[in-house]
A and B are shown apart, each in its own frame.
Chain A
């Protein structure tokens, strides 16, 4: 993949700039998620507030990036890899924005669950899921930055592991709730957080799919067999 080398230098700058904006948005979402998880794990209400109050930055970037993409399409009529770059950016920022919302949700649960405590085993399961999702998002953004389709195929498959973790944690929470109905409120909060994390995994997988589309021109969405892996191409 090569973004530069257009006869029009200005066009190179425009594409490079919108790509940088998308990567910047990715970095911001990653930071929001990390802070939200830290706020949740360490019951840090100040940090949770910070995450809730920063979501607008993610939303604003989404709008700006879409606007810049529309402008480039109108003025340049991009084709081939340039067209795929813009389409993959437009689609990626939608997923990134949703991830930002999920991170905000986690931060809000961190605020509502202040002062309650859950058993250490659940706490560590949630932390584990959070780490898996954090790693997957980081890797997905990395493939986006490097435009590395091969790595995107590998990273996309981590979603399976995250789904399995989520199922495991759901069963744990169910048991916990059945043991004592007083646990239900706290358990549901934990479940919503786990659900938000699982959704971030799904969105990260989408980003990997857009990277494959960008580099290889192949749309691999909804082509996975039942076990959910991205097929070998």
Chain B
């Protein structure tokens, strides 16, 4: 190399020419061999298990209509007061897995869940387990804000009333105020608690749903893409809120945004084709993942 010719303004990327990458555009996906590989792996890469977890799940299998299996032998632990992010491509089973944790899949006819799902050592699929009580312990926030067509106050008060958590009006007022405060919404709505919840902005509605979820003092909050319908500022508010809630609750979040998983979670689980491929602390997953499929997904490669 004798001469170096670099124009001073050569800061734009050449569209082609200097690279050695061939124009390989074939997706090259041999699903069969990937499935075989996942089947052979006895457990997820990384550190799926913890001492004294909040949720302990082992060999979880989920079938829809007997014929279609959505989750294969998922085994992982969810720690206390941690945010765990479930990531993976569409249809990988992360939402299905999340919905097992408070038996939301019970509502879909023909669904069968096998394996052990233990909340503080207690089998949540036991015969004498009441799903309604379980869902008070394991709350849920959905992708689209879905406040009840009621006032802001009644949205939050609905759960505590249902479960008889307040003996009088002033206690209920306290619960509503505390829940809205924890959800970072109280100051914005304190003067209009009786106006409809549906009249709030998208980000406010989602925080109202979070307030509704925490009003019954759950132990775990499940969030299924809670910010995908929100703008970046509302998203940042919710993310900040999630981090604050972590001290009081265990939070499992399904997200399509890898940056969001990287920002807010302590641990990350990567799902692929219904298998848990890798579970590890988030720093490791995003700087030095242990499985090729995780690497391909988080770096935006087709594998």
Q: Is the CB of A7 within 8 A of B302?
A: yes
Of the candidates B10, B21, B22, B287, the one whose C-beta lies within 8 Å of that of A83 is B287
A14 CA / B23 CA spacing, docked (Å) = 14
Q: Is the CB of A6 within 8 A of B4?
A: no
Q: Is A53 an interface residue (CB 8 A)?
A: no
Q: Is A24 an interface residue (CB 8 A)?
A: yes
The prevalent SS among residues of A at the interface is: helix
**Closest residue of B by beta carbon distance from A54:** B4
Q: Is the CB of A64 within 8 A of B302?
A: no
13 contacts between A and B (CB under 8 A): A5-B301, A5-B302, A13-B19, A20-B20, A31-B1, A60-B8, A68-B13, A79-B258, A79-B299, A80-B286, A80-B288, A80-B295, A83-B287
Of the candidates B4, B18, B258, B262, the one whose C-beta lies within 8 Å of that of A17 is B18
Q: Is the CB of A64 within 8 A of B300?
A: no
A143 CA / B18 CA spacing, docked (Å) = 21
Interface residues on chain A, number (Cβ under 8 Å): 37
Residue numbers in A under 8 Å from B303 (CB-CB)? 5
Of the candidates A12, A13, A20, A79, the one whose C-beta lies within 8 Å of that of B286 is A79
User: Size range of the interface on B?
Assistant: 35 or more
Q: Known A28-B1, A68-B11, A80-B286; judge A17-B19 contact (CB<8 A).
A: yes
Residue numbers in A under 8 Å from B19 (CB-CB)? 12-13, 16-17, 20
Q: Is the CB of A6 within 8 A of B300?
A: yes
Of the candidates A16, A60, A67, the one whose C-beta lies within 8 Å of that of B21 is A16
Of the candidates B10, B11, B13, B288, the one whose C-beta lies within 8 Å of that of A13 is B13
CB distance from A20 to the nearest CB of B (A): 6
Q: Is the CB of B18 within 8 A of A20?
A: yes
Q: Chain B residues in contact with chain A, CB under 8 A?
A: 1-2, 4, 6, 8, 10-11, 13-16, 18-25, 258-259, 262, 286-289, 294-296, 298-303
A218 CA / B23 CA spacing, docked (Å) = 31
**Closest residue of B by beta carbon distance from A27:** B1
Q: Known A10-B13, A61-B4, A68-B11; judge A84-B287 contact (CB<8 A).
A: yes
Q: Known A28-B1, A28-B4, A84-B287; judge A13-B295 contact (CB<8 A).
A: no
Residue numbers in B under 8 Å from A3 (CB-CB)? 21
Query: How many residue-residue contacts, CB under 8 A, span A and B?
Result: 90
Residue numbers in B under 8 Å from A84 (CB-CB)? 287-288
Q: Is A44 an interface residue (CB 8 A)?
A: no
Residue numbers in B under 8 Å from A67 (CB-CB)? 11
Q: Is A221 an interface residue (CB 8 A)?
A: no
Q: Is the CB of B299 within 8 A of A80?
A: yes
Q: Is the CB of A64 within 8 A of B258?
A: no
**Closest residue of A by beta carbon distance from B286:** A79
Of the candidates A64, A81, A217, the one whose C-beta lies within 8 Å of that of B299 is A81
Known contacts A79-B287, A79-B298, A79-B299, then 6 further A-B pairs from the complex at CB < 8 Å, ordered by chain A residue:
A4-B22, A13-B19, A68-B13, A77-B259, A80-B294, A80-B295
Residue numbers in B under 8 Å from A4 (CB-CB)? 21-22, 24
A149 CA / B255 CA spacing, docked (Å) = 35
Residue numbers in A under 8 Å from B289 (CB-CB)? 80
**Closest residue of B by beta carbon distance from A213:** B288
Q: Known A12-B21, A67-B11; judge A60-B288 contact (CB<8 A).
A: no
**Closest residue of A by beta carbon distance from B7:** A64
Q: Known A16-B20, A17-B19, A80-B288; judge A6-B299 contact (CB<8 A).
A: yes
A2 CA / B288 CA spacing, docked (Å) = 14
Residue numbers in A under 8 Å from B15 (CB-CB)? 10, 13
Q: Is the CB of A17 within 8 A of B13?
A: yes
Pick the 7 closest A-B CB pairs, nearest first.
Answer: A217-B288, A16-B19, A4-B21, A27-B1, A79-B298, A5-B301, A12-B21
CB distance from A122 to the nearest CB of B (A): 31
A9 CA / B1 CA spacing, docked (Å) = 28
A31 CA / B18 CA spacing, docked (Å) = 21
**Closest residue of A by beta carbon distance from B284:** A217
CB distance from B276 to the nearest CB of A (A): 18
Residue numbers in B under 8 Å from A8 (CB-CB)? 300
A163 CA / B224 CA spacing, docked (Å) = 58
